[in-house]
Copies of this chain bind each other. A is one copy, B any other.
Amino acid sequence: MGFDKENGLRAALVELSNFQIFSDLDSSTIASLCEGGSVVLSSHREALFEAGAQAKYFGVVLSGAYKLSRPSPNGDDTIIHFSTPGDVVGAFIMAQDNPKFPVTARAMGPSRFLKIPRENYCSRWKERPELIIKIQNLLSNRMTQMHIAKTMQRSTLSAKVAALLIDLVNRETESKDEAILPLPLTRKEIADNLGSSVESVIRVMSEWSKQGLIETNDQHIKILKVDKIINEIGDGSL
């Protein structure tokens, strides 16, 4: 365990330099920023942390994906965000006194997460304005994404599903004809993210399958006609 942990950590530090936020830092700086960190392996559907728990750490998604959700008044959770590799999770609450996680993080398929102690943020990270600014820019992008999502609240369900899929594929690749979603995604998760019901999502997506716009196998969704799906986004308006 100790061995694994250390090994995982060293490997993780190398991976970090591929992510935008660390891209222009040298490896010793990265090591210092992450000192005391550890790599967590999560299996499918396992919780990384629960909403309301004390936030003693923040971190970075290394591989796989996590869904961030909040308990909904009606019982099942609402998914707030899908975090993919390179995403910084929890950084923006670190500066509060005695922060608590506002969401639950649950793995989607086997995933790896680099935990970084909160103290690091309050000392080493906070001292570097460029880093904090980068975090702020990340946050501000996420905020803009949420604004866009809010703007679509009056669109039809197909437009919302299309927008979600396009948003997810754009994190990885540039626009091509085809694209594969970088994370395993069930219809229920889509529904929980859009505030809709599984059945409705299924009705929308099976129509697309029939038309050959998308293809699913084993939880992995592949978009065959990216442009056609993008068209669906606009359809609510016309």
Partner-B contacts on A (CB < 8 A): 70-75, 78, 80, 92-93, 95-96, 102-103, 126-127, 129, 132-133, 135-137, 139-140, 142-144, 146-155, 159, 195, 234, 236-237
The quantity of this chain's copies bound in the complex is 2
Task: Name the one of B136, B139, B144, B154 contacting A74, with C-beta atoms under 8 angstroms.
Answer: B154
Q: List chain B residues, Cβ under 8 A from A151.
A: 70-73, 78, 80
Measured CB to CB, the nearest residue on chain B to A134 is: B95
Most chain B CB within a 10 A radius of its CB, from A137, A152, A154: A154
Which residue of chain B has the shortest Cβ distance to A191 in the bound complex? B154
Task: Decide: A80 near B147, CB < 8 A? Known: A73-B237, A140-B93, A237-B73.
Answer: yes
- Contact pick for A133, options B70, B132, B139, B148, CB 8 Å: B132
Highest count of chain B CB atoms <10 Å: which of A75, A80, A139, A150: A150
Instruction: Give Cα A133 to B72, complex, Å.
Output: 30
Given A73-B152, A132-B133, A154-B74, answer yes or no on A92-B139 (Cβ-Cβ < 8 Å): yes
A24 to chain B, nearest CB (A): 15
Q: Which residues of B contact A70 (CB under 8 A)?
A: 147-148, 150-151
Q: Which residue of chain B is the closest to A97 with respect to CB atoms?
A: B137
From B136, B140, B153, contact of A78 by CB (8 A) = B153
Contact of A142 among B102, B143, B149, B159 (CB under 8 A): B143
**Contact between A92 and B143, CB atoms less than 8 A apart:** yes
User: Is there an interface contact between B137 and A139, defined as CB atoms closer than 8 Å?
Assistant: no
Q: What residues of chain B lie closer than 8 Å to A153, measured between beta carbons? A: 78, 153, 195
Bound Cα distance from A127 to B136, whole angstroms: 14
- CB of B137 within 8 A of CB of A136, answer no
Contact across chains for A78 and B142 when beta carbons are under 8 A apart: no
- Chain B nearest CB, measured from A232 CB (Å): 12
A73 touches B155 (CB 8 A): yes
A102 interface neighbour in B93, B132, B144, B236, Cβ under 8 Å: B144
The residue on B at minimum CB distance from A128 is: B129
State the CA gap A150–B101 with chains docked (Å).
17
Q: Judging by beta carbons under 8 Å apart, are B92 and A140 in contact?
A: yes
Once the chains are docked, how many angstroms separate the CA of A71 from the CA of B151?
8
A6 to chain B, nearest CB (A): 32
| CB-CB nearest in chain B for A140 | B92
